[in-house]
Amino acid sequence: MGARALGLPAVHRAAGLPRRVTIWEVGARDGLQNEPESVPAAVKIEFLDRLASAGLGVLEATSFVHPKWVPQLADAADVLAGLDRRPGVRYPVLVPNQRGLERALEAGVRDVAIFASATEAFAARNLNSTLDAQFGMFEPVVTRALREGLAVRGYLSMCFGDPWEGPVAPRTVAETGRRLLDLGCWQLSLGDTIGVATAGHVDAVLDAFDAGGVGVDRLAVHFHDTYGQALTNTVAALRRGLSTVDSSAGGLGGCPYAESATGNLATEDLVWLLDGLGIEHGVDLGALAATSAWMAGQLGRPSPSRVVRALTG
């Protein structure tokens, strides 16, 4: 598939938006972990290299989770060993426990993330823990990572709804998230794991964090597009001044522990939105769309991103 002549949206900047947004690209980790078949390490390495060439400055490379639980990422060490890490580009990895952190340190990783739950049900299914006990699991991981000079990001899943518990109270999300920040996470990514959030719900969650003394400068958002609301929810967050948005090239991904979760917000769709709002991001949309079209070819199916299809179809 060759890239079409690239059209760009007209720019109409709205008041109160951030001047620049950091795109936290999760396609190589959160995207590929949900594939039915494992993608070869060489393809993952090329994918990450192409994404870096497109101008993305944060590329979540992989996860050191046990291969029994996520076999698609069993080659994490091989991917990192073969990766040409570019100056100025961050390559964070997910570490579920102390063993995962050890493997990350052996691989020379400088950025790690932990993955927590805002609900009892998901903590039980994903972490084999309880909502309260999970912090005891994370504390030694974060402490060791900080002692080694690593930056630690926190992911909080099920922030807007849980398939087993239903709606999640914004105050509960804020209280749980604050505990991750207090452990030493420099940033907290709020996950709409099953894609049920709406714009008003986003405001309610951010209000709860604000009431608890946590500003948007410590927060990021991670939306899934199950009901087609990911971009709308992103705009709601941007209007509150939030300036880090997680997304996945080509809209790859989901959640292997929540069957109702469909793909992540597509990075190309996000970039098109940001371009139209006049918000800086540093990404070459044409190169990015071509990369996602290439990856769609590797996976043997069309990209779910509408922008990718519009530009490369």
User: For the segment 117-170, what is each residue's pLDDT rounded down to a tens digit?
Assistant: 999 999 999 899 999 999 999 999 999 999 999 999 999 999 999 999 999 999
pLDDT of res. 218: 98
For the record, the structure tokens of 176 come out as: 């749980």
Identify the CATH homologous superfamily for domain 22-312. Aldolase class I (3.20.20.70)
pLDDT of res. 59: 98
Give CB contacts under 8 A, 24+ apart, made by 34-40.
Answer: 34/72, 34/252, 34/253, 34/254, 34/255, 34/256, 35/72, 35/252, 35/299, 37/72, 38/71, 38/72, 38/74, 38/75, 39/72, 39/298, 39/299
Q: Which residues are catalytic?
A: 255
User: For the segment 46-89, what is each residue's pLDDT rounded down to a tens digit?
Assistant: 999 999 999 999 999 999 998 888 999 999 999 999 999 999 99
Residue 1 host element (H or E): none
pLDDT band per the 50, 70, 90 thresholds, residue 36: confident
Do residues 53 and 288 lie in contact, with contact meaning Cβ atoms separated by under 8 Å?
A: no
What is the pTM (predicted TM-score) of this model?
0.94
What is the distance between the alpha carbons of residues 207 and 39, in angstroms, rounded to a whole number? 40
DSSP state of 91: -
pLDDT of res. 62: 97
User: For the segment 194-251, what is each residue's pLDDT rounded down to a tens digit?
Assistant: 999 999 999 999 999 999 999 999 999 999 999 999 999 999 999 999 999 999 999 9
